[in-house]
Amino acid sequence: MSRVVPYHCPYCGDEDLRPHAESKGYECRSCARVFTVRFHGLAFDEAPTPSAIPAPEEETGDEPH
């Protein structure tokens, strides 16, 4: 079985994480936040689902080039 293991806390960036059994996620030992990590799919080869990938907003606005 493969699990998605976060490398650092998405909130404070600390790497001191431990599995949180109750939520099936992870608990940050630094800021005590519990979060879950979901595997959305591979970012290459397969066509991504548009709704699954948030599109980054461009800072240039909607001015035509």
User: Which CB sits closer to Zn ion, 31 or 53?
Assistant: 31
16 binds Zn ion (CB under 5 A): no
Provide the token pair at 29: 């030992």
* 56 vs 63: CA distance, rounded Å: 16
User: Which CB sits closer to Zn ion, 4 or 12?
Assistant: 12
Q: Pick the closest to residue 20 from 39, 9, 12, 59 (CA basis).
A: 9
The stretch among 12-20, 38-46, 54-62 that binds Zn ion (CB under 5 A) is 12-20
User: What's at 44, amino acid-wise?
Assistant: F
Give the footprint of Zn ion on this chain (CB under 5 A). 9, 11-12, 14, 28, 30-31
